[in-house]
Amino acid sequence: VVSDRNVRRTGAADGVEELAASILAHGLLQPLLVTAREDGRYGVIAGSRRLMALRLLSKREALPRGFTVPVMVMEAGEEESLAENVVRMPLHPADQFEAFRRLELSGLGAAEIAARFGVSLRIVRQRLALGAVSPHLMQAYREGELTLAQLEAFTVTDDPVRQDEVYQGLGSFREAWRIKAALTQADVSGRDRRVQFLGLDAYEIAGGSVLRDLFSTTDEVWLTDVALLDRLCLGKLGEIADKVRQEGWLWTEVAMEFPHGHGCRRLYPHAVDQDDEAVAQRLAASMALETLYQQHPHDEVSEDVAAEMAQLEEEIARLSEQAYAYDPNVIARAGAFVVLGHDGQARIERGFVRPHDEVAEPQEETGEKAAHSATSERVSAEVPVADLEIGGVALSDRLIADLSAQRTISLRDALARQPEIALLALAHSLILQGFYGIRHDAPSCLSIRIDSAALAHHAEGIDDGPAARAIAERHEEWARLMPQEAGELWDWLAALDRDSRDVLLAHVVAQSVNAVILPHERRTQAIRDADRLAQATSLAMRDYWSPTVPAYLGRVTKAAIMQAVSEGVSDEAAQRLGSLTKAEMAREAERLLVETAWLPACLRTSSGEVEDEQDPVAFAAAAE
């Protein structure tokens, strides 16, 4: 029995399972120290945990019958118990790591080692990785030059040469995150969109090697063969493109990024009549989903409810897609791009017509109809304006210009007196340009031109950002509803309700916004107007943009990084970055700023996203 003179009172049962496994594998290596009691039993003054482990094994019938436990009978009591637990020197962790490593080299697998010592397989793998680090690193750890957390960071790679190279290049800055960043700087994180799309298992099956952080709670990994990863992603996109091609498209093109300079004209699907059953299914799915949202108003729901919601959303999306279709003639001369989106999902963009696939002008008709068509379509080339008949009377060019000018000025006055019609005409003119392309013969008499400045050459990847994707989705939704022919747009717009027309007009007008600040353009007033527009719309740039290394922190000076951290976090946090290199400072600043609302001055809205606002127009003046 355990003696009341045993000094161990706290944590006596901790690790008993591991101790039992060790005794079962190696035997009892140290006898129990006991003293005789008046009742004829012996009190354990040193070895109470060993006694608990032995009792556990006996209860499980893991020990042979008649198992003998060696003991040493002592005269005294408490002093010996104290001596055994205080005087002994614990094993240095480095010795333990290397001992585990030697067991592995002797032929024992990780699972066998785990069973022998009663520890988890993960712990064994961690200790084996630590035992396999470069001898230089292990010596530095023994001498206190490296902490355990730093040594753990080096196990990201099992290449001792690479470990030594990074160790030598770190200098006195040896934070664990910096060590891992240096070891994996040429590799691809497991959080990369390509890995999300392909799947880690597919990459490893193809022979790709992986670096793993055995000490990360999120099982962080890095993929080392970037070329293989890209090739596999393109192959998977190609398989999706083959299925899309079976829909009848003339061509499909695969790319990792959407080729915004494709030079194609895009056509959109249009609504098709659905049978009553399909309409009823969509309505039932929508009502079921709405019911679930009402029953579970909070974000956290059970897995079963979440799965049911996801299934209903997929069903609604499928039925909604069936409500629209491309004309077979469009499919026969158009194609589709299959690209990898920034969310790690494949993007399929259909309906693009290459210039050389455009439908040729129709053949000239014969007879009286052909003669009339030739007169109306090629009058400027074949018939002098002076000979054009208006109301059966041939008029001169000068007179035609005079009369049409009179009609123009009258039409201006008439239109100004009817705001509703004026807004309709404005919407008609701008929507023609926004959805049907700008052509010299566009069916609008308004001299209003909308210009949507290209932004991709100013900001890489901007066309795949959240704002651009929202605009593209909105554009496609409207395009599906519009008539395919530009000549039918006026009647369609006139029949549209006012609220819907205003929303559509806002979408088209918004495409003309240009608030880009360039050094060679004097646009101070335009930039001031953009700031006023930002205030009016309550623009919150943090919904669209974040100060990441590629977006901002990697492209400014160290002083600018420290100023950002000072404004967004604190002066003390900024000062702590002062001794870091530029790359290290940018990465650490990104970590600090990601959860804040900080923005560069030129992105702030004057309504007050942060304190100490600066006028964005000052940047326009500086650029000029």
Residue 525: what pLDDT? 73
The answer to whether 94 touches 141, Cβ cutoff 8 Å, is yes
Average pLDDT over residues 226-252: 95
466, pLDDT greater than 70: yes
pLDDT surpasses 50 at 609: no
pLDDT of residue 370: 41
How large is the average pLDDT for residues 24-28?
75
- 298 Cβ neighbours under 8 A, 6+ residues apart: none
Compute the distance between CA of residue 466 and CA of residue 546 in angstroms, rounded to an integer. Answer: 12
- Does the pLDDT at position 83 exceed 60? no
pLDDT band at 62 (very low <50, low <70, confident <90, very high): confident
142-201 pLDDT, tens per residue? Answer: 888 999 999 999 999 989 999 999 998 887 778 888 898 889 988 998 989 999 999 999
The CATH number of the structural domain formed by 16-86 is 3.90.1530.30
pLDDT of residue 519: 66
Question: 300-317 in b/e burial notation, b at 16+ Cβ within 10 A?
Answer: ebeeeeeeebeebeebbe
When pLDDT is cut at 50, 70 and 90, the band that residue 391 belongs to is very low
When pLDDT is averaged across residues 270-299 and rounded to a whole number, the result is 80
Q: pLDDT band at 366, cuts 50/70/90? A: very low
**pLDDT at res. 378:** 33
pLDDT at 507: 84
Better pLDDT: 246 or 93 = 246
Alpha-carbon span 236 to 239, nearest angstrom = 5
Which residue type, as a one-letter code, is found at position 576?
R
- Most distant CA atoms of the chain, gap in Å: 140
Phi and psi, residue 45, nearest 5°: -100, -15
CA distance 554 to 585: 9
What percentage of the chain has pLDDT greater than the value 70?
80
Residue 14: per-residue pLDDT: 72
Side by side, the strands of the sheet bearing 42-46 are 42-46, 32-36, 71-73
pLDDT of residue 396: 64
| Global pTM value | 0.58
Q: Does 251 score more than 70 pLDDT?
A: yes
The β-bridge relationship of strands 335-340 and 251-255 is parallel
158-172, 235-249, 501-515, 598-612: range with lowest mean pLDDT: 598-612
Confidence of residue 238 (pLDDT cuts 50, 70, 90): very high
pLDDT band with cut points at 50, 70 and 90 for residue 28: confident
More confident residue, 545 or 364: 545
Average pLDDT, rounded, for the chain = 79
Look up residue 405 and give its two tokens.
Answer: 């000018």
pLDDT in tens, 180-195: 888 998 899 898 999 9
Instruction: Give the pLDDT band of residue 522 (cuts 50, 70, 90).
Output: low
Distance, CA of 80 to CA of 44 (rounded, Å): 11
pLDDT of 231 > 60? The answer is: yes
List, by residue range, all CATH 3.90.1530.30 domains of the chain.
16-86
Confidence band, pLDDT 50/70/90 cuts, at residue 369:
very low
CA–CA distance, 594 with 83 (Å, rounded to integer):
53
**In this structure, what is the dihedral angle of CA atoms 536, 541, 542, 547, given to the nearest 10 degrees?**
-150
- Looking at residue 551, its pLDDT comes to 81
> Coil, helix or strand for 251?
strand
How would you classify residue 374: left for phi > 0, otherwise alpha for psi between -120 and 50, otherwise beta? Answer: alpha
Give Cα 404 to chain centroid, integer Å. 57
| Average pLDDT, integer, range 255-269 | 87
Predicted confidence (pLDDT) per residue in 416-432, tens digit: 677 677 677 787 888 88
Q: With a cut of 60, say whether residue 612 has pLDDT above it.
A: no
DSSP 317: H
pLDDT score, position 570 = 92
Q: Which of 114-128, 314-328, 382-396, 576-590 has the highest mean pLDDT?
A: 576-590
HEC profile of 113-141? HHHHHCCCHHHHHHHHHHHCCCHHHHHHH
User: What mean pLDDT do residues 213-219 have?
Assistant: 82
